Each structure stands twice: as structure tokens, then as C-alpha cells.
Structure 1
Amino acid sequence: MKTGVLCIHGFTGGPYELQPFVDFLKVNTDWKIVVPTLPGHGEILSLNKLSAENWMMAAEQTLRQLQKEVEQVYVIGFSMGGVIALYLANRYPICKLVLLSAAAKYIYPTQLLQDIREIAKEVMAGKLEDNQLYQLYRKKWKSTPVQAAFEFMRLVRIVEPYYGQITIPVCLVQGKKDGIVPYTTAQFLFNQMATEKKELIYSETGKHHICYSEDCKDWFNKALQFLKEKEEKG
């Protein structure tokens, strides 16, 4: 059976957010993997006048094309992409979901403050330009219109009423040091979803960009095992 995988990146991000996991899957499977860039996203952001519907429809169009080329589809969603994955699962025949740092709730202030403190320490030490976190936030702060952030939050509100309708197998992966999505979000989603086949994997050291966590190889293997596992016959 030919398998396709749709990978969906997060808000203000791009395919690079999922690249380490995508590379791992390419080495360990023969699946057809597609990683679209949502409208206005990628290395250079251009988010003016874009809506939640633009992002959902783009993912939807890619899914529909993929479904024409394969017999079964898995969807992997990171952050906002995890929410879009849930939206797609309610509308299309998808076999399994993997949700990475899914942004069903957002901005975890405690960890964000800790990250900002780390930036502040490096400012005092004159190392600010070397801080990857600072570079990431600076780039996004400059390029993200306020209206786009409201559209992201609106997307979450659009999809939230349907969490309880998810009946396909789901694997959730969440970093405990996530500065954007509270790590308790994964448990919240786990409890909300109706499916009986669900797994919850925590990364003790993982921050929001979970595909770049120090222990990513551990959960890469667990998530792949989940996807490869044959569904139990009733």
C-alpha cells in the first residue's frame, strides 16, 4: 500500500521547522512526503492580508493532491500545523495524525520569560548577536503583522470545537520547556479527543521547535513506530 505523508509547519515558520523529522522519515521509509509552504510563510514572511482560511485551504489543496497519488495518508502537524491537521482529520479520510507542539493553547509565559532572561544575560555579556533564540524572535517580531497573529488565534478557535470528533489514531509529542505552547496542552488535547488509539510523548528537554530537541532521535523512533504499527483488528 502506497503511503503519503503531509507535513504542515507552524505560524510564521516554514518547512525547515519539520526538516529533521522529514529527513529521518525519508531515510527510514519509502513514503511520499510533502511539506508545503503555507501562504505568506517560509524564509521571508509576507503575512499581510492573509487569513486563517488561506492557510487551511492551502493545506487542504495539498492533501487532496496527495490523496490522488497514494492509497493512505498520514498527517504530521507542527504548532499551528497541528491545529490544521486536526481540521483536515475532521474533513478527509486520514489514517493517522502526529501532532508536534500542537498550538491548541499558546504562549506559555513562564518558559518565555526564562528564555527572555537568557537573552538578557547574553546582552550583558555582549553575546546577543550569537543567540539563536534572539535572532529567531527578532526576525518574527519585525515581520509579523498584528492582524496575522489574530488570524492564527482565530484559526485555533475555529478548530477547537471539533477536537472531540477525532476518532483516528493520534500521537502527540510535546516539549516540557516549550516557550510558546504550554506543555500541558498535549494532555488537554489527549483528553479531548475521542479516539481510543492515542499516545502522548514528552520531551524533557524539548522547547517549541521540538524537531530540534536534544532528545529528538528518541521520539523520532517512537513516532515512526506509531505510524508503522498496524491497527489492531476488531
Structure 2
Amino acid sequence: MSIGCLCIHGYTGSPEEIKPLVDFLEARTDWEITNPTLPGHGEDLDLEGHYYQEWIATAELALIDLMKRHDQIYIIGFSMGGMIAAYLTAKYRLDRLVLLSAAGKYVSLSQMGKDILEMIADAWKGVIADNELFLRYQKKLKDTYLFSTFQFMKCVQFTRPYLHHVRCPVLIIQGDLDGMVPRKAALYLEKEIPSEEKEVIFLKKSKHLICHGDDREELFDEVLSFVSQP
């Protein structure tokens, strides 16, 4: 039995968001793992003029390519990529689904406010250059178009109904300190997905970029354990 694994990054992101997990899995499995860049995304954002249908189509073509060579397909989606992953899982009846900080419904204004206050405090102390969240999102905020934000919202709106059609085993992992998607989003996904085999895990030290969080090793071990089950 051969296994293919598709990983899908988030809105305004790049494959780097999931790369630590990809590297971990590649070192411990013989799977073929694909981690494509969605149109307009990557380290140099160029989102203007790109539609959410392109993002879904790019992930779908990568999936179809994997399906040509492998008996089983696992799919891992981060943030918006989680919603695209759920859609593809429902459409193609894939074998296992992992949702990381999946952007199903909510934005955590309270945690976002805490993150902003932390950035202000670091700026006041003259150490803003050491604030990882600030460094990661500084360029994104400058390069993200309002049009693209609407495309993100449309992507979530389009994919959300497909949660009801996911039947395979599902692992949902969420950071307790996520400033973009709070913990109640994971509970929402658990409620909406009818799979008989579901597991929800909260990581106490992780923010939105969960594969780069302080407890990422726990995340890696949980994902490998989940996908290795018979």
C-alpha cells in the first residue's frame, strides 16, 4: 500500500507555514508529500486579481496527481487550507483529514487584541524586531488587498457546507493562544463534521502558526500517531 499526502497552507501564507511538519513526516515515513503554493501566495505575495477558485483548483490538481500513484491519500490543511482540505476530502472520499487552526467560522478579537498589546509593549521596550508575530505579519498586512480578503471569505463560505459530508477519520488541532481562529472554532468543526472517528487537541502554547509554535513537537507526534493508525 502506497500513501500520498497533500498539505495546504493558509491565506496570505506559503508552504513554509507547514514545512516543519512536512520535514518531520518525510523523515519518518516513505510517503510522497506535496506542499504546493496557492496562486498569488508565497514569500512574495501577489494576491491582486486572484480568485478563491484558483486556490481550490491548484490544491485539487495536486491531489488528483497524487491519486494517480497512491492507494491511500491523507490531507493536511492549515487555516484556510483546512477548509479547502475538508472540501476535497468530502468530494473525493479521502482516507484521513488533519485540520490545523482551520478557519471554519470565527475570528478571535480578544486574543488578537492581546497580541496587538504585546506588540505595542515590545515596540515601547525597543524589542519589536524580536516579536515573531509582528515580523511574520508586517509584510502581509502591507501586501494584502481588500479584494483578496473577500476572496478568502468566499472560500470559507463555499467550503463550509462540505464539512457535513466528511466521513473519514479527522484530527482537529488548535492553539489555545490563536489570535486569528480561537478554540471555539475547533469545537465548531467537531460539531459540523459527522465522522464517527474524530479527535480534538488543544495546544496550550501555540498561536495561529501552529507548526512553528512552542509545542510543535507535540503537534508532530499527534499527527504522526493519528495517520499511522490502521
With normalisation by structure 1, the TM-score equals 0.96
Is residue 15–residue 35 contact of structure 1 (8 Å, CA) maintained in 2?
A: yes
Partner of 1:188: 188
Q: Which SS does the other structure have where 2:92 is aligned?
A: coil
Partner of 2:25: 25
User: How far off is 1:52 after superposition?
Assistant: 1.0
Partner of 2:107: 107
User: How far off is 1:195 after superposition?
Assistant: 0.5
Residue 45 and residue 208 in structure 1: after superposition, are their counterparts in 2 closer, same or farther (change >3 A)?
same
User: Which whole-Å deviations, capped at 9, do the CAs of 1:2-22 have from their partners, x for residues lacking one?
Assistant: 100000000000000001111
Q: Which amino acid aligns with 1:37?
A: T
User: How far off is 1:39 after superposition?
Assistant: 0.3
Matches within 5 A, 1:1-234: 1-230=1-230
User: How far off is 1:185 after superposition?
Assistant: 0.5
Is residue 38–residue 59 contact of structure 2 (8 Å, CA) maintained in 1?
A: yes
Counterpart-to-counterpart distance in 1, 2:122 and 2:170: 39
- Superposed CA RMSD in Å reads 1.0
Structure 1 residues not aligned, in runs of 5+: none
Is residue 177–residue 206 contact of structure 2 (8 Å, CA) maintained in 1?
A: yes
User: Which whole-Å deviations, capped at 9, do the CAs of 1:178-206 have from their partners, x for residues lacking one?
Assistant: 00011110111011111101111110111
Q: Which portions of structure 1, spanning 4 or more consecutive aligned residues, are displaced by more than 6 angstroms?
A: none
Identical pairs, percent = 43
Deviates more, 1:215-224 or 1:187-196: 215-224
Q: Which amino acid aligns with 2:194?
A: A
User: How far off is 1:46 after superposition?
Assistant: 0.4
Deviates more, 1:214-223 or 1:198-207: 214-223
User: Which whole-Å deviations, capped at 9, do the CAs of 1:159-191 have from their partners, x for residues lacking one?
Assistant: 112211111110000001000011110111011
Is residue 211–residue 219 contact of structure 2 (8 Å, CA) maintained in 1?
A: no
User: How far off is 1:141 after superposition?
Assistant: 0.8
Is residue 105–residue 182 contact of structure 1 (8 Å, CA) maintained in 2?
A: no
User: How far off is 1:66 after superposition?
Assistant: 0.8
Structure 2 residues not aligned, in runs of 5+: none
User: Which whole-Å deviations, capped at 9, do the CAs of 1:32-67 have from their partners, x for residues lacking one?
Assistant: 101000000110000011111010001000000111
Counterpart-to-counterpart distance in 1, 2:103 and 2:68: 29
With normalisation by structure 2, the TM-score equals 0.97
Counterpart-to-counterpart distance in 2, 1:202 and 1:187: 10
